[in-house]
Chains A and B, each alone.
Chain A
Amino acid sequence: MESIYQTWPWYVSGPLISLVMFLLLFMGKQFGVSSNLKTMCAIGGAGKFADYFKIDWKAERWNLLFVFGGMIGGFIATHFLSADKVVINEKIAQELADDYHIESAGQAFLPTEIFSNSVLSDPYHIAILLVAGILIGFGTRYAGGCTSGHSISGLSNLQLPSLIATIGFFIGGLMMIHFLFPIIF
């Protein structure tokens, strides 16, 4: 029982994620979170500006319920299952401290230097979070899916487009960490 409070190893977590995908498949739905962004825009009235958002959003209600559950799950894990600290490879943690003065690895779930509430008074940090979000929203809708829709659902269904998208995810991620981080942080 004690191990439930530790970090769940990959060979437990990975199969549980595919279980989520199969549960949704048995419910007649396809696992993919980023389409909720489109649905939320549609609910907000974006259909007045672009046909892309003229959809019957009620058909996507199930996915909103799914992410609502995800939020409750995040709350439960933080408050009752001690998901509060992330310990990573020591060498990488040291590099983060040396190169970017991000020193909270091993002490927090997210780097306090980027996500703590005190950072919210700094316009530069707000801009970083906002731009990151814009890239995520624009990119996932352009690619027609994110990590769940392409890298899990799509690859599991052996879809070539999802492989191309996943390769793109990694090209973008590697570019950000290796070339842009030294400029941004």
Chain B
Amino acid sequence: MRSLAYVVIGIFFGIVMMKSEAASWFRIYEMFKFGSFHMYGIIGSAVVLGVMGIQIIKRKGIKAFGHVEMELQPKIKSVPRYLFGGIIFGLGWALAGACPGPIFVLIGAGFPSVLIVLAGALIGTFFYGLLRKYLPH
């Protein structure tokens, strides 16, 4: 039953990625060219509502289903890993025009060429696992 819920939330996410066009290479290019407010509006409104909702959850001590704590773990403090990692991801995001969510959504939408991007992403993840101890974190 819970498994089905994750699939259904995922289906909803996939439809939103496609219909908002956030999964489109063109929209990512347009965003980095500052050609439209569209992508900034999507991320901005999601974050504003997210901040408000999470503040309410924290102040009222709202629990997840099954009365477990909400998964709101703070990330470990550091600058280089987020900045360098972020820049490397940003380079790939702009080139492929897709972040990890849309990669999966686009494969389902019927773009076999995006499978190459996914293969690359798995190789990149594997490289990170191998090189991790040599990188500044």
A and B: interacting chains: yes
The minimal Cβ–Cβ distance linking A169 to chain B, given in whole angstroms, is 4
- Quick one: given A92-B33, A169-B93, A175-B90, are A138 and B124 in contact (CB under 8 Å)? yes
Query: How many A residues are at the interface, by size bracket?
Result: 35 or more
Interface bits B75-93 vs A (CB < 8 Å: 1, else 0): 1111101111111111111
Interface bits A150-185 vs B (CB < 8 Å: 1, else 0): 111111111111101111111111111110100010
Please, which residues of chain A bring their CB within 8 A of the CB of B74? 157, 159, 161
Of B3, B72, B96, B127, which is within 8 A of A157 by CB?
Answer: B72
Of A41, A49, A88, A172, which is within 8 A of B86 by CB?
Answer: A172
CB–CB B126/A168 < 8 A: no
**Number of A-B contacts defined by CB within 8 Å:** 497
A81 to B40, CA, bound (A): 24
Who on chain B is nearest to A164 by CB? B82
A51 to B18, CA, bound (A): 36
Please, which residues of chain B bring their CB within 8 A of the CB of A33? 99-101, 104
CB–CB A14/B90 < 8 A: no
CB interface residues, A 33-72, toward B, < 8 Å: 33-34, 36-38, 40-41, 44, 46, 49-50, 52-53, 61-63, 65-72
CB–CB B64/A109 < 8 A: no
CB–CB A74/B95 < 8 A: no
Of B7, B14, B101, B132, which is within 8 A of A76 by CB?
Answer: B14
Q: How many residues of B contact A (CB 8 A)?
A: 114
Of B26, B65, B117, B126, which is within 8 A of A136 by CB?
Answer: B117
Of A10, A86, A144, A150, which is within 8 A of B26 by CB?
Answer: A86
CB–CB A27/B65 < 8 A: yes
Of B10, B104, B116, which is within 8 A of A130 by CB?
Answer: B116
Interface bits B113-137 vs A (CB < 8 Å: 1, else 0): 1101111111111111110100100
Please, which residues of chain A bring their CB within 8 A of the CB of B135? 142
- Quick one: given A115-B25, A132-B117, are A70 and B104 in contact (CB under 8 Å)? yes
Please, which residues of chain B bring their CB within 8 A of the CB of A17? 13, 16, 20, 22, 42, 46
Of B46, B66, B70, which is within 8 A of A152 by CB?
Answer: B46
CB–CB B120/A152 < 8 A: no
Most B CB atoms within 10 A — which of A129, A135, A162, A170?
Answer: A135
CB–CB B86/A139 < 8 A: yes
Interface residues of B (CB under 8 A from A): 2-3, 5-33, 35-47, 49-51, 53-54, 57, 64-66, 68, 70-79, 81-101, 103-114, 116-130, 132, 135
Interface residues of A (CB under 8 A from B): 4, 7-18, 20-30, 33-34, 36-38, 40-41, 44, 46, 49-50, 52-53, 61-63, 65-78, 81, 83, 86, 88-89, 91-93, 95-96, 105, 109-111, 114-117, 119-120, 126, 128-148, 150-162, 164-178, 180, 184
